[in-house]
Structure 1
Amino acid sequence: MLGLIVGCSNSRNNGNAAEAAAPSPSPANTAEHSETRIISTIKGDIEIPAHPKKVAGMLYVFADHLLALGIEPHAMVTYNDLGFPEYLADRMKDTIAIGSGEAPNLEALLEAEPDLILASKTLNEANYEQLSKIAPTILFDNENDEDWTRFRQTAEIFGKEAEADQIHTDYEAKVAKVKDELAAVAPNETVAYLRVQDKQLQLIQPGDNFTLFGPLGLTPASVEGIDFKDSWNVAISEEVLPELNPDRMFIILRPGESNKAALDNIMSTSIWANLTAVKNKHVYIGDANLWFAGYGPIGLSNVIDEISGAYSPES
């Protein structure tokens, strides 16, 4: 959690006469670059720029947060060494890649010269001191918080709470509209949410934290005897599919040729061909970078658009 901003200060240059004789920036620019704020974090009070210009993110969701607020990230980790998420890449052409969230390249981060670093307690507590030597670092301990709570906490750093609240309001209005549309188009249909990863077909456990079942209220297909235990997914064999037999399937394909080959093998079987969703051409393949990593405002909104599009007559 982050505390509220508790104070402001103006840093002063106490350099020697030679430094003082150097050309001075305009008063407006001086104020912009010297003004700082003190904020309370889980690592105590830290001083950050009042108007950060070169923000680095050590968790890929920060890219979504910043872009939603109209801030282009200066430097950002990638998603599992796969580059920036495709749904954001066009807006990050000038953003410096600094390794993955799990294996950040601190040398590249140092060379990027950020003036503020946004970091994750889970991934970055061990290297917090190193990060803090590069630039003021805010360590967020909110990975178990709801997506929109996390987004607003990011917005607070930049004084953009009002913008964040409006983005959230617009999203909720979109969800309500699409939910009503889907209820009218397919009121009695069942949906299966699946993933192909590690060459396995996995069934995703229905829950409020997934857009299909929580916000949009779609009816999950079910199979007796499947035990998710404490996990949100479970590997299933293709023999389970006829019992599941949903009206629609959303399949998230993780990158990698082995995963694509595994899905191709399943799709070549007679079991697959006889499924209701397959016969009616109601199978949709989603990008893992969006569906599993896009839990910022832009990603969440794009997923709603993809689901809505899947139910359109033209799909």
Structure 2
Amino acid sequence: MKKILVLLLIAFVVLAACGNKDNSKNKSSNKSSDSKQTKTFTQNDGTKVKIPKDPKRIVVLHPTYIGALVKFKHKPVGVIDFVKKNKTLDKATKGAKRVGQTDIEQIAQTKPDLIITSKEDKNIKKLKKIAPTVQFDSKKSNYKETTIQLGEIVNEKAKAKKWVKDWNHQMAQDKEKLGDKIKGKTITAVQSTPKGLVAFGKSLGRGTEIVYDGYGMQMPKALEDKVHNSYNAQISQENLTTYTGDYIILATNGDKPAFTKTNNWQNLNAVKKGHVITLDASDTTYNDPISLEKQHKIILKQLNNMK
């Protein structure tokens, strides 16, 4: 009798072990199946692309598209090495591998399940061979739409929409508090570059989204005509009076550029009145949620301190 009971017990243990093994296989199979599931994402130009339903290893090859992912707790595994020139994004992506935008081998080594890049990327065919690739066209979307789309990619669309709603509310509050200080006023964002002095359009970072879209300030008419359908426009120091407004955002790379010591600059009304907002472009430049939040603090503080 004892022998029969022992044999039955052994048989039960064996069957239980087999059952657990089968369950383990099923769980593993389901997990593998989940990781291969896809969804359809519609790009700015209307084209549709199949991407992972729940991407885990994202590589981003343009700085503008990094901040939203980090904000919604989906830090990329790889980012374009250009972020090293931007303190805000460099700090936000600590631990992510830096890759060259055109270094296909480096990008492949990160083993991405999704790549995010710009419409202008010339290596798109090679990138698509590595992983599903999404292209953003900055000319066909604004920073709010892009934030929501990036949220959609990582299944955080609700969070992205909430960020936009909160941001709009913050801009409205600022606008009301600043009142006549900004109402009906014009503003120009300028930066000295290797190609010369540049004035920026309404959606190229450097605080432009805040002052134009958020605060409702305007460009001087001559500048608006010059940057029409463009990101920015080169201007000469001699024509600063034509293209600058009641306020100026001076984007620098740490130190103030040489042209600010010239009479052309020092004789501007905005400079004489102390209406120059200084923004360090090496610290924060872009129009993602993280960069915009930092720019907002800097710009609002300086505006509040102006007479």
TM-score category, normalised to shorter length: 0.7 to 0.9
Name the CA distance, whole Å, in 2 between partners of 1:218 and 1:175.
12
Which letter does structure 2 place at the counterpart of 1:149? E
Contact 1:33–1:51, Cα closer than 8 Å, also in 2 = no
Q: Is 1:73 paired with 2:76?
A: yes
Q: Percent identity?
A: 20
- Report the 3-state secondary structure (helix = DSSP H, G, I; strand = E; otherwise coil) of the residue aligned with 1:177: helix
Match of 1:117 among 115, 118, 121: 115
Q: Cα offset for 1:224? A: 9.5
Other-structure match for 2:238? 239
- Report the 3-state secondary structure (helix = DSSP H, G, I; strand = E; otherwise coil) of the residue aligned with 1:140: strand
Name the CA distance, whole Å, in 1 between partners of 2:188 and 2:60.
34
Contact 1:142–1:150, Cα closer than 8 Å, also in 2 = no
RMSD of aligned Cα (Å): 3.7
Name the CA distance, whole Å, in 2 between partners of 1:177 and 1:237.
36
- Give the 3 Å change call, closer, same or farther, for CA 222–119 of structure 1 in structure 2: closer
Q: Cα offset for 1:232? A: 4.7
- Equivalences, count: 277
Other-structure match for 2:300? 308
Name the CA distance, whole Å, in 2 between partners of 1:225 and 1:69.
34
Equivalences for residues 32-47 of structure 1 within 5 A: 32-35=31-34, 36-41=36-41, 46=50
- Give the 3 Å change call, closer, same or farther, for CA 267–158 of structure 1 in structure 2: closer
Q: Cα offset for 1:173? A: 0.9
Name the CA distance, whole Å, in 2 between partners of 1:96 and 1:298.
19
* Deviations 1:153-210 (CA, angstroms, capped at 9, x unpaired): 2222222111111111111111111122222444465423222223522334568974
Contact 2:274–2:306, Cα closer than 8 Å, also in 1 = no
- Report the 3-state secondary structure (helix = DSSP H, G, I; strand = E; otherwise coil) of the residue aligned with 1:70: coil
Other-structure match for 2:196? 200
Contact 1:178–1:216, Cα closer than 8 Å, also in 2 = yes
- Give the 3 Å change call, closer, same or farther, for CA 198–34 of structure 1 in structure 2: same
Q: Cα offset for 1:28? A: 6.2
- Give the 3 Å change call, closer, same or farther, for CA 245–32 of structure 1 in structure 2: same
Structure with the largest fraction of strand: 1
Q: For structure 1, which runs of at least 5 residues remain unmatched after alignment?
A: 1-21
Q: Cα offset for 1:250? A: 0.7
Which letter does structure 1 place at the counterpart of 2:236? S
Which letter does structure 1 place at the counterpart of 2:305? P
Other-structure match for 1:58? 61
Q: Cα offset for 1:249? A: 1.4
- Give the 3 Å change call, closer, same or farther, for CA 224–31 of structure 1 in structure 2: closer
Name the CA distance, whole Å, in 2 between partners of 1:85 and 1:25.
46
Contact 1:74–1:96, Cα closer than 8 Å, also in 2 = yes
Match of 2:266 among 266, 273, 276: 273
Q: Is 1:177 paired with 2:176?
A: no
Name the CA distance, whole Å, in 2 between partners of 1:155 and 1:229.
30
Match of 1:127 among 108, 124, 127: 124
Name the CA distance, whole Å, in 1 between partners of 2:225 and 2:65.
35
Equivalences for residues 221-260 of structure 1 within 5 A: 221=220, 227-228=226-227, 231-242=230-241, 246-253=245-252
Q: For structure 2, which runs of at least 5 residues remain unmatched after alignment?
A: 1-20
Q: Cα offset for 1:219? A: 4.2
Structure with the largest fraction of helix: 2
Q: Cα offset for 1:234? A: 3.3
Contact 1:194–1:204, Cα closer than 8 Å, also in 2 = yes
- Give the 3 Å change call, closer, same or farther, for CA 274–105 of structure 1 in structure 2: same
* Deviations 1:88-115 (CA, angstroms, capped at 9, x unpaired): 2222110101113xxx222212222223
* Deviations 1:38-82 (CA, angstroms, capped at 9, x unpaired): 22357866462x443322112222211211211111001133xx6
Name the CA distance, whole Å, in 2 between partners of 1:26 and 1:184.
68
Which letter does structure 1 place at the counterpart of 2:135? F
Contact 2:249–2:276, Cα closer than 8 Å, also in 1 = yes
Other-structure match for 2:14? none
Name the CA distance, whole Å, in 2 between partners of 1:122 and 1:224.
25
Contact 2:51–2:133, Cα closer than 8 Å, also in 1 = no
Contact 1:277–1:283, Cα closer than 8 Å, also in 2 = yes
